[in-house]
């Protein structure tokens, strides 16, 4: 843990200006960008300090949005996805606009309702090199893409793999009406759509069904 510099003292908490919201070390916060046309930055507070002029500073570890990373935003990145970076910084506490929650990927997929303050993280990111940890994740469907929790997927009753409706020639509306789905590899000419069971809406959305996992 970083040592407190001379003339400064550690604070247990900070109350966001104009609110009754209290920030403590370990909390995730929204921070005002210099370009107000951009969304707020997201950071995890590591430490809160006050100097001898009563100025409060926060040491933060930044989360990056996919579009802020070297590789940019890709198809499987969700709208609320963030990467926990190795980029640390010290900012004025006055730039904190509000608090938010950065969930684990697993916990995020279980949320019944996603609020404006809800985000998720499944990768750590090295800002200088663009490297990710982990560098291999489960992939699904014919397109072999990691799961995007914003996208509807259907599960094959045979192989238990998950598919994007568009990748198997269906519309989202048609997929929502399905009671049963068998992929082309598992289906036969005689038994294409004989109802057997309902499908879960997405990989990881329900702990009772384990999707088939491949690595990439």
Q: Which residues contact 22 (CB under 8 A, 6 or more apart)?
A: 13, 14, 15, 16
12 and 90 fall within a common domain = yes
pTM of this prediction?
A: 0.79
Domain that holds residue 172: 137-215
CATH of the domain at 199: 3.30.40.10
Which of 112, 133, 154 is the endpoint of a domain? 133
In this predicted structure, the answer to whether residue 103 has a pLDDT above a threshold of 50 is: yes
110 and 25 fall within a common domain = yes
Binning pLDDT at 50, 70 and 90, where does residue 116 land?
Answer: very high
Q: Which residue has the higher pLDDT, 169 or 213?
A: 169
Q: How many domains does the chain have?
A: 2
pLDDT in the model for residue 20: 94
């Amino acid at each position: 843990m970083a040592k407190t510099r001379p003339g400064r003292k550690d604070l247990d908490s900070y109350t966001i200006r104009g609110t009754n919201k209290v920030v403590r070390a370990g909390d995730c916060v929204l921070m005002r960008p210099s370009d107000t046309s951009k969304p707020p930055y997201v950071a995890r507070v590591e430490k809160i300090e006050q100097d001898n002029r009563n100025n409060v500073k926060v040491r933060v570890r930044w989360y990056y949005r996919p579009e802020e990373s070297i590789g940019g935003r890709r198809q499987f990145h969700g709208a609320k996805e963030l990467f926990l970076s190795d980029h640390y910084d010290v900012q004025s506490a006055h730039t904190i606009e509000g608090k938010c929650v950065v969930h684990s990927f697993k916990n995020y997929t279980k949320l019944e309702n996603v609020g404006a303050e809800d985000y998720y993280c499944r990768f750590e990111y090295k800002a200088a090199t663009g490297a990710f940890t982990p560098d291999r994740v489960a992939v699904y469907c014919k397109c072999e893409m990691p799961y995007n929790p914003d996208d509807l997927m259907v599960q094959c009753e045979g192989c238990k793999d998950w598919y994007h409706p568009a990748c198997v020639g269906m519309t989202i509306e048609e997929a929502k009406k399905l009671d049963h789905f068998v992929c082309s590899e598992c289906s036969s000419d005689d038994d294409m759509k004989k109802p057997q069971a309902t499908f879960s809406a997405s990989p990881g959305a329900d702990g009772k069904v384990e999707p088939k996992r491949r690595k990439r």
